[in-house]
Structure 1
Amino acid sequence: MKAVNDNDGLSQLAILYAKLEDNEFRVKYALFITEFIDPNMDPGVNYFT
Structure 2
Amino acid sequence: MAETYNGYCVKCRAKRDFEGKVEESNNRRMAKGICPVCGTKMTRILGKAA
Higher relative contact order (CA 8 A, sep 6+): 2
TM-score, normalised to structure 2, is 0.24
Structure with greater Cα Rg: 1
TM-score, normalised to structure 1, is 0.24
> Which of the two has greater strand per residue?
2
